[in-house]
Amino acid sequence: MSSVDPSRLVVQHDEPNHRFIVRVGAQECVAEYEVADGIATFTHTFVPPELRGRGIAEMLVRTALDYARRERLRVIPACSYVATFIRRHREYVDLTT
């Protein structure tokens, strides 16, 4: 799996199951969320250990936060990765509650 090219990966929105997915072979990388009362709570981000360090989690979270912005949702970063991402990417701070 070391030859994974992130530029060829596609983030899919599995809206019925409240998650964003990147599939690499048979493996899934996910950013999960819940929505209630105009608030998206990002609960979990996971990338299998052998796929980490390739920017996949960043792709997932950036896509998820862009979705929240388009849908005019406020964001609660309950997932530590999402919270850290927002601290490092100040352009998303305005989404937080």
The H or E element containing residue 45 is strand 39-46
Q: Enumerate residue ranges in the chain where pLDDT < 70.
A: 1-3
Would you give the end-to-end CA distance of the chain in angstroms? Answer: 38
Phi, psi of 41 (to 5 degrees): -100, 115
Instruction: Give pLDDT, residue 18.
Output: 98
Instruction: Give pLDDT, residue 2.
Output: 55
CA 43 to chain centre: 10
Domains of the chain, CATH where assigned: 6-95 (3.40.630.30)
Instruction: Give pLDDT, residue 6.
Output: 75
